[in-house]
């Protein structure tokens, strides 16, 4: 049995990282006389700084898309860069610099790039990360700095000068976006339902994992529908579990994590959510699945397991490659970012194996990472490809 108090090391994108059971607190580890996550991270910074200092004057290795670089920084210059803000993001050649002002043990960057921030020598409130990125000029990168307190999250979007323009968004929805509550395993589960404006005739629909993302997707989808670049599509967002023992999101989205709960959740979607939704808009009976990250794993596997219900799947940044033999009964739109190495590899594996099975597949990549910006950008074209079905 795995030691739940253990903290161990793995390597990703040339950086040593800490892995651990997120359900265990450092207080529990300390009480048991074990190494804490904070202690482990501090030990890794020294080794990682040596690597990053060597990278400062080096080009990216041919097989790498991103590497951390480091050189001593002048706190006064960084404060001038921040001015009155707490977060600054800028580029110099192929290096993206991120500086955050705040107080916590170890803030972490998430979004389009995901690295631990390092304290700036000579300053007790400055943290930095510098990243050499291939195709930086073409990239769009959401930057979230996540310190200890969730309410302190700082956010920026960095856009390269050669990055493709963002898809249009409506400033105010003309369609309807409502939240409802159904019951799953005896607990309330939030379901969001988006129905586009001016619907004439029957329309297809998509079941979106992590339905809380629908609020970010709906303005982009509606703009595409209104301009005619995407056909009218209803979206049913099934929120992930809000609480529970262990990791209920993984239990419901990853088939091998908890096969029983995964099957129960899939049955909830097909046998309860879809019939419920069919009564609330002019449904054509054509249903798709969609999701990102673990939600993409759910979407791709759900379409494979229930081709009698779902005719297509949209899986962006899937975290796990296919674990069973695949069939060609559904179409799949699969993608990953250049800056999310494991997810990019999994997306490529899904696309390769689906194609080998004879399925219709659209495989895409973007100059960016594990980023809701890119997921929203691919949502309308994916729905178009999955519903209009061009050959």
**Residues 67, 182: Cα–Cα separation, whole Å:** 45
**Residues 32, 34: Cα–Cα separation, whole Å:** 5
Mode of pairing for the β-strands spanning 203-209 and 234-238: parallel
pLDDT tens track for 303-359: 999 999 999 999 999 999 999 999 999 999 999 999 999 999 999 999 999 999 999
pLDDT tens track for 175-216: 999 999 999 999 999 999 999 998 889 999 999 999 999 999
Task: Kindly tell me if the per-residue pLDDT of 148 is higher than 70.
Answer: no
Residue 391: band (very low, low, confident or very high) from pLDDT cuts 50, 70, 90: very low
Task: Kindly tell me if the per-residue pLDDT of 245 is higher than 90.
Answer: no
Average pLDDT over residues 23-31: 92
Mode of pairing for the β-strands spanning 203-209 and 283-292: parallel
pLDDT computed for residue 243 by the predictor = 67
Both structure tokens of 14: 């040339």
112, 338 Cβ separation under 8 angstroms: no
Domain ranges of the chain: 7-159, 176-388
Task: Kindly tell me if the per-residue pLDDT of 18 is higher than 60.
Answer: yes
Task: Kindly tell me if the per-residue pLDDT of 390 is higher than 60.
Answer: no
Task: Kindly tell me if the per-residue pLDDT of 1 is higher than 70.
Answer: no
CA 205 to chain centre: 22
Task: For residue 300, count CB atoms less than 10 angstroms from its CB and return exposed for 0-12, middle for 13-18, buried for 19 or more.
Answer: buried
Average pLDDT over residues 13-24: 91
Task: Kindly tell me if the per-residue pLDDT of 128 is higher than 90.
Answer: yes
Residue 106: band (very low, low, confident or very high) from pLDDT cuts 50, 70, 90: confident
Task: Kindly tell me if the per-residue pLDDT of 378 is higher than 70.
Answer: yes
Residue 154: band (very low, low, confident or very high) from pLDDT cuts 50, 70, 90: confident
**Residues 133, 131: Cα–Cα separation, whole Å:** 6
Which residues are CB-contacts of 68 (< 8 A; sequence separation ≥ 6)?
Answer: 13, 14, 15, 48, 51, 52, 55, 115, 129, 130, 131, 132
Residue 284 CB neighbour total at 10 angstroms: 16
146, 115 Cβ separation under 8 angstroms: no
Residue 222, SS3?
helix
Per the listing, tokens 């069973």 go with: 324
Residue whose C-alpha is closest to residue 38's, from 125, 104, 105? 105
Residue 295, SS3?
helix
CATH of domain 176-388: 3.40.50.1820
Strand partners, 295: none
């Amino acid at each position: 049995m795995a030691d739940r108090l253990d903290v161990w090391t793995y390597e990703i994108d040339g950086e040593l990282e800490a892995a651990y059971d997120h359900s265990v607190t450092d207080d529990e580890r300390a009480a048991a006389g074990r190494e804490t996550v904070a202690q482990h991270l501090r030990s890794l910074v020294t080794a990682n700084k040596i690597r990053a200092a060597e990278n400062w004057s080096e080009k990216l290795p041919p097989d790498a898309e991103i590497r951390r670089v480091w050189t001593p920084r002048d706190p006064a210059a960084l404060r001038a860069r921040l001015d009155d803000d707490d977060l600054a993001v800028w580029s110099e050649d192929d290096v993206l610099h991120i500086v955050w002002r705040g107080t916590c043990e170890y803030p972490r960057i998430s979004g389009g790039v995901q690295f631990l921030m390092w304290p700036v020598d000579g300053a007790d409130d400055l943290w930095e990360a510098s990243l050499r990125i291939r195709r930086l000029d073409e990239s769009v990168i959401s930057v979230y700095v996540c310190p200890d307190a969730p309410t302190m999250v700082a956010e920026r979007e960095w856009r390269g000068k050669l990055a493709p323009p963002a898809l249009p968004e409506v400033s105010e929805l003309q369609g309807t976006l409502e939240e409802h509550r159904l019951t799953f395993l005896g607990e309330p589960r939030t379901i969001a339902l988006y129905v586009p404006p001016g619907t004439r005739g029957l329309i297809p629909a998509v079941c979106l994992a992590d339905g809380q993302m629908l609020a970010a997707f709906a303005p982009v989808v509606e703009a595409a529908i209104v301009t005619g670049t995407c056909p009218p599509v209803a979206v049913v967002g099934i929120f992930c579990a809000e609480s529970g023992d262990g990791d209920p999101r993984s239990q419901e989205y990853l088939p091998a994590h908890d096969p029983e709960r995964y099957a129960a959740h899939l049955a909830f979607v097909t046998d309860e959510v879809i019939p419920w939704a069919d009564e609330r808009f002019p449904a054509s009976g054509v249903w798709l699945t969609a999701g990102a990250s673990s939600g993409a794993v759910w979407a791709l596997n759900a379409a494979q397991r229930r081709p009698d219900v779902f005719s297509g799947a949209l899986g962006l940044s899937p975290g796990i490659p296919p674990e069973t033999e695949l069939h060609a009964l559904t179409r799949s739109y699969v993608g990953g970012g250049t800056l999310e190495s494991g997810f990019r590899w999994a997306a490529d594996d899904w696309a390769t194996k689906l194609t080998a099975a004879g399925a219709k597949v659209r495989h895409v990549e973007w100059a960016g990472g594990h980023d809701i910006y890119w997921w929203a950008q691919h949502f309308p074209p994916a729905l178009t490809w999955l519903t209009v079905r061009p050959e």
